[in-house]
Amino acid sequence: MRAYLDHNATTPLRPQARTAMLAAMEAVGNPSSVHAEGRAARSAVETARAQIAAGIGTSAKNLVFTSGATEAANLILTPFLQRSRDDAPLDLLLAGAGEHAAVLQGHRFQRDKVESVPLTPDGTLSLEALSGLLQCNKNRRILLALQAANNETGAVQPTRAAAELVHAAGGLMICDATQAVGRIETTFAATGADALFFSSHKLGGPAGAGALAFSDESLHIKEALLRGGGQEGGRRAGTENLPAILGFAAAFAVARETMAGEAERLGRLRGLLEEKVKESWPESVFLSAAAPRLPNTSAFQTTGGKAHTLLMALDMEGIALSTGSACSSGKVRRSHVLAAMGLEETEAVRASLGWSTTQEHVELFGIAFARVAKRIRARRTAA
């Protein structure tokens, strides 16, 4: 038996999502067609859109389906995000230093128009630094990109406080809610964001579906990234992926319905996992432990133990973990998030739990981790 503890990379498909997708695969009809089959497909897409939009606190017309969070980031990160068609282009993108690579690229902002906002040692955005940057750029139109929760450490970011600072300076804030939706309360009211984006497969839906949503209908993007048939209100061309969208909506519904209970359950399992780590490696340090964290996420460093060595050894023992972001083509890299936190060692092991995680999985982890820790310590002693 293997224990899959890497839900922040991707979550196993929920049964409800699979059922919805299989039903959609049996249907025939392009959502843009005017015949009965097309109208049925359109109705299913719009029902899914309304359901997801309501769950994050906006109206259906403000939500755009995409192929995932990365495409959504590419679409929204543009100087031409506007409230009025007469607005001048945005001058500067400020991005939290711990943002996902999909945001740090800046996309349609020129590289010299992107600045990083430092993190505090606990892995949250420095509001003091943000305030200083806004003051230094008070004559420029600012866009802040800040994730709701960090994918590597689980640190929940001060989005609402950051949004208040940015809005007071006349700017806009977008929020990468990929890790937060379905795990903690993530709405426009809770985050203060002007736009949110997130992905299906972190919720237990299929990969290849995501959403970009605006807080209100006044916000728009001057130029679409994908241009063609005018789907998604002209904001994203391409025939809608009906099975993926319906699987996305089904997973979103279950995640929202079970969120409170799951947060409590996963928080308990995370506590047990961290106890197991401490028992076998007492010097271990848990990152962002002083900050609010996602209830499912634990990132830790072991003194004298390389994270990638632990990762491979635990994989051989049947435990699937990560060293951070899974979006680097399978490569193990030093973490820019940990570097931004001021840590000398920029590798950590990340355990992330989810709907399919049981106490048995955590117990299996504890047994495997104890064996691996014993072997590594024995080698260190012999050396």
136 catalytic per annotation: no
Give the per-residue pLDDT at 325: 57
Q: For residue range 358-380, what is the model confidence (pLDDT) as tens digits?
A: 999 999 999 999 999 999 877 77
Residue with token string 């500067």: 92
Decide: helix, strand or coil at residue 148.
Answer: coil
What local confidence, expressed as pLDDT, does residue 359 receive?
A: 98
Q: Please compute the mean of the pLDDT values over residues 320-331 and round it to a whole number.
A: 67
Q: What is the largest CA-CA distance in the chain?
A: 75
**Contact between residue 153 and residue 340 where contact means Cβ atoms under 8 Å apart:** no
Span 68-127, pLDDT tens digits: 999 999 999 999 998 887 788 999 999 999 999 989 987 889 999 999 999 999 999 999
pLDDT average, residue stretch 135-158: 97
- At residue 271, the 3 state secondary structure works out as helix
Contact between 365 and 351 under an 8 Å Cβ cutoff? The reply is yes
Strand 210-214 to 220-221 pairing = unpaired
- Which is catalytic among the residues 207, 285, 327, 343? 327
Average pLDDT over residues 40-57: 96
How many angstroms from the chain centroid is the CA of residue 32?
30
- Residue 382's pLDDT is 67
**pLDDT category, 231, cuts 50, 70, 90?**
confident
Given a cut of 80, is residue 170 above it in pLDDT? Answer: yes
Q: Quick: pLDDT tens for 172-188.
A: 999 999 999 999 999 99
Lowest mean pLDDT among 76-80, 220-224, 315-319: 220-224
Q: How many other CB atoms are found less than 10 A from the CB of residue 324?
A: 26
Domains of the chain, start order: 3-11+259-382 (3.90.1150.10), 15-252 (3.40.640.10)
| Percent of the chain scoring above 70 in pLDDT | 97
Q: Provide the pLDDT confidence category of residue 304 given band limits of 50, 70 and 90.
A: confident
Query: Taking a C-beta distance cutoff of 8 angstroms, is the pair 334, 324 a contact?
Result: no
Strands 210-214 and 172-176: unpaired
Average per-residue pLDDT in the chain? 93
| pLDDT score, position 332 | 60
DSSP lists the bridge partners of residue 119 as 125
When comparing pLDDT for 30 and 68, which is higher? 68
pLDDT digits (tens, 9 = 90+) for 338-356: 999 999 989 999 999 999 9
Provide the whole-model pTM: 0.94
Measure the N-to-C terminal CA separation of the chain; round to a whole number of Å: 33
Mean pLDDT of 260-286: 97
Q: What per-residue confidence (pLDDT) applies to 329?
A: 43
Residue 268 · residue 274 · CB < 8 Å: no
Percent helix, strand and coil across the chain, each to the nearest 5: 40, 15, 45
**235, pLDDT greater than 90:** no
Distance CA(282)–CA(284), nearest Å, equals 5
- CB-based contact 273:365 (threshold 8 Å): yes
Q: What whole-number distance in Å separates Cα of residue 287 and Cα of residue 304?
A: 16
Are 258 and 355 in contact by the 8 Å Cβ rule? The answer is yes
Give the pLDDT mean for 7-16: 98
Torsion of CA 91, 120, 97, 173, to 10 degrees: -40
Cα-Cα-Cα-Cα dihedral of 361, 363, 368, 370, to 10°?
150
